[in-house]
Amino acid sequence: MVGQRFLEALVERGAADWQVTVLCEEPRAAYDRVHLTSYFSGTSADELSMVPAGFLDEHGIDLRLGDPAAAIDRAARTVTGRSGEVFGYDALVLATGSYPFVPPVPGHDADGCFVYRTIEDLEAIEEWAKGARTGAVVGGGLLGLEAAGALKAMGLDTHVVEFAPRLMAIQVDEGGGAALRRKIEELGVTVHAGAGTQEIGVGADGRAATMALSNGETLDVDLVIFSAGVRPRDQLARESGLDVGERGGIAVDENCRTSDPSIWAIGECALASDGRVYGLVAPGYQMAETVAHELTGGSGSFTGADTSTKLKLLGVDVASFGDAHGTSEGCLEVVYSNSREGVYKKLVVTAEGVLLGGVLVGDAGSYDLLRPLCLSGAVLPAPPEQLVLPESAGAPIAIGASALPDDALVCSCHNVTKGKIRAAVNDEGCADVPAVKKCTRAGTGCGSCVKMLTTIVQDELAANGVEVAKGLCEHFEHTRAELFEIVQVRGITSFRRLIEEHGTGSGCDICKPAVASILASLANGHILDGEQASLQDTNDHFLANLQRNGSYSVVPRIPGGEITPEGLIVIGEIARDFGLYTKITGGQRIDMFGASVDQLPLIWKRLVDAGFESGHAYGKALRTVKSCVGETWCRYGVQDSVGMAIELELRYRGLRSPHKLKSAVSGCARECAEAQSKDFGVIATSTGWNLYVGGNGGMTPRHADLLAADLDRETLLRTIDRFLMFYIRTADRLERTAPWVERMEGGLDHLRAVIMDDSLGICDDLDELMQRHVETYEDEWRATIEDPERLRRFVSFVNAPGTPDPTVTFVPERDQIRPAKPGEEGLPLATAGLIAGPTLEVRTS
């Protein structure tokens, strides 16, 4: 990555006088190691490439793949490649990076032991994992936890062994490490902190079989990944007589020049003038730009760099910046810790209120603001406790990008300040985020600053009276509503075609699920078929809600809350046979908790055979239509609320939308079903039905608004049809109906005009879309259990189908079960003897 950045910087500054040859050890050009783990979630090697198409040919760069430098002759100024070819040089830049450190423990070179560094490493791990059941990662740092996440995703029982007393010891403090460990263990990864690896036991077949730890534990393993840190690749420098540090690294000065004036070193192989070897991409990029300046007649210097970090590990947000450990003299700490929610925040400040550093675990939403404030050295614009407390606890004041001074560093990868971003908009004429990225390179490194960058650009454009584009993410300039129209009008049925024709890059965890929802809303096939499966969120991926201990919940649809005694018996028998926790919810359904991945098809086979179907509790879709008993039983009821609730739920079941949808039908004005707190609610009157919309009962409850009164059945259904389809077409990603209605220009009057008076002339289209949904609805779970290919994903372990995951554990409570808490002794259901162990045979022709 650093080598490629050097080439780009050299080209940018005018490299016409230089003939450039690149000796590359790997069989491919530079690729993105920061996002290497995305390879396991479907990102291809080509998508990870960092070399733009035609870049090398356009600039006459000679790239030699698979031919690393083998020797340097400083006197003759030549480099000999492994192929034997000799290359002369006027300037030599070493960007040899680092190599993974593998502790010299017995058995470290056994079959099944890997490092986690290159695409080839990942390919080997992926292949070996097909025959493995238990994996261990040696090292609990950034890369180690990413490796653990990859093993867990491949279905392996996963352990992390960390010699330090906590995970990510360099980045987070003791409190942050404890919060991180709790969150990761809740996801089913076993953490062994404060323990070293003493030996890898090797079986008779030469394969790794056990791992002995310094605390006396022995783990049964058949795959081991070493991620215990890296060491600078300085062998070439040593052999050629260049100065190296006592603990490794090619010694360089502030210009990144080595002890030989014709040789420079950049990135992880270099020991900077401040005595540090930097293992992050941002310092490497700064070194690359420094040398590019030097070689093109300019002057540059590298004297140190920001080592702030923000990432998501196994779904857990982790960030640290500045003096995260509070080592500055006289510093003070402000800490917020909520172990129940898995959130830990610490700010290190001076007595005067200057932010020195911080740690964020479980909620890193404020990182984009806090890091630049820290780097700026300015006094905080608010008391520090208001910056860590949640809204419910302290109602913190709103602080945004406007609080940052112009010299605040926004992008540390490319050393871009807020002032440079503003100048790109005001002086260079950049009218959107992509243009600012191209102009300043901000946001093109690790990507952690993109959110703040977008805010600054949009604020600056708005201040200049320019209409700000509201693209879905950096890969699409279009809004979600615009993408919906594009997909519908052009008949697009795949994410790949959409991003090729209307976007850039390979997509992200924002646009992929959003587009998946759009495709599902337009009835473009089963969500687990083909490319669509890779776009889904975790819950949709397995058609079930993931719970805190790695188990899943099963929620069959019970329209209107109406269920026969036979149906109740079936659910009860299934819950009993599988040992599941059962609960009657506020939405008039019965939830069953504690199922493992491989049990889901077995459970749903019995439910489907009994006439049940998916309740879509896992999807951004209609959840329930709650009801009272109405006029059928209640002496106050004036309409059949149960019948109407059932009709609505069956009509809109499976309807994918920007966010979840909830509804209710009350049989009279007494409102026992609480219809006015739902996305759309119906209340019976003596002459028809009143329709309320835009009510939510979440973190910010909102009372629904009366859209129309005394509607007959046909008009009611038609109005709801259009309301839902208009919402699906125009709402933003993850936007509930309440904020959608509130931000709508013209408000409720505009909504009435559109869906009741057809002011935009789109009602026929909305009607047709809903009719298509009603006619093409298919129960996702019935379709899944009838398809052997879809069933293949529902296994706890890739090569041991039917084997329960021993990391998913429970304890008894109130005659049922609940997930075992961190540090609590729990048992898998099978071990506890709570399940009968039915099987579902899957055959393929």
Amino acid identity of residue 154, one-letter, is: M
Distance, CA of 153 to chain centre: 13
Please indicate if the annotation marks 668 as binding a ligand: yes
CA 27/CA 184 separation, integer angstroms: 35
Task: Note whether 640 and 632 are within 8 A (CB).
Answer: yes
Please indicate if the annotation marks 628 as binding a ligand: yes
- Give, in degrees to the nearest 5, the angle at Cα 257 between 254 and 261: 135
Q: Look up residue 209 and give its two tokens.
A: 């079989």
CB-based contacts of 666: which residues, under 8 Å, 6+ apart?
A: 627, 628, 641, 672, 673, 674, 675, 681, 682, 683, 684
Q: Look up residue 758 and give its two tokens.
A: 């057809």
Distance, CA of 527 to chain centre: 19
Q: Look up residue 292 and give its two tokens.
A: 């590019």
CA 5/CA 450 separation, integer angstroms: 19
Q: Look up residue 371 and give its two tokens.
A: 């890091």
CB-based contacts of 647: which residues, under 8 Å, 6+ apart?
A: 717
Measured in degrees and rounded to the nearest 5, phi and psi for residue 293 equal -60, -45
CA 24/CA 392 separation, integer angstroms: 54
Half-sphere CA count of 358, side-chain side, radius 13 A: 33
- Bridge partners (DSSP) listed for residue 21: 62
Task: Note whether 517 and 656 are within 8 A (CB).
Answer: yes
Please indicate if the annotation marks 508 as binding a ligand: no
Listed in sequence order, the DSSP H helices in 610-712 are 641-652
Q: Is 500 helix (H, G, I), strand (E, B) or coil?
A: helix
Listed in sequence order, the DSSP H helices in 666-712 are none
- Bridge partners (DSSP) listed for residue 582: 592
Sheet strands (E) in 142-265: 157-162, 189-193, 197-202, 208-213, 218-220, 223-226, 230-232, 250-251, 263-265
Quote the DSSP letter at residue 105: -
CA 678/CA 698 separation, integer angstroms: 10
CA 1/CA 97 separation, integer angstroms: 9
Query: By 3-state DSSP, what share of the chain in percent is helix, strand and coil, each rounded to 5?
Result: 35, 20, 45
Cα-only R_g, the chain: 30
Distance, CA of 429 to chain centre: 33
CA 625/CA 678 separation, integer angstroms: 9
CA 144/CA 181 separation, integer angstroms: 13
Half-sphere CA count of 159, side-chain side, radius 13 A: 25
Helices 142-153 and 119-129, interaxial angle, to 10°? 40
Please indicate if the annotation marks 430 as binding a ligand: no
CA 16/CA 129 separation, integer angstroms: 48
CA 473/CA 543 separation, integer angstroms: 26
Long-range contacts (CB closer than 8 Å, 24 or more residues apart) made by 464-467: 464/425, 464/426, 466/431
Selection from 618, 612, 669, 530 nearest residue 785 by Cα:
612
Distance, CA of 485 to chain centre: 26
Q: What letters, b where the CB count within 10 A reaches 16 and e where it falls short, cover 101-138? A: ebeebebbebebbbbbbbbebbeebeebbeebbbbbbb
Q: Look up residue 431 and give its two tokens.
A: 């009218």
Residue numbers in the known binding site for [4Fe-4S] cluster are: 628, 634, 668, 672
Residue numbers in the known binding site are: 628, 634, 668, 672
Residue numbers in the known binding site for siroheme are: 672
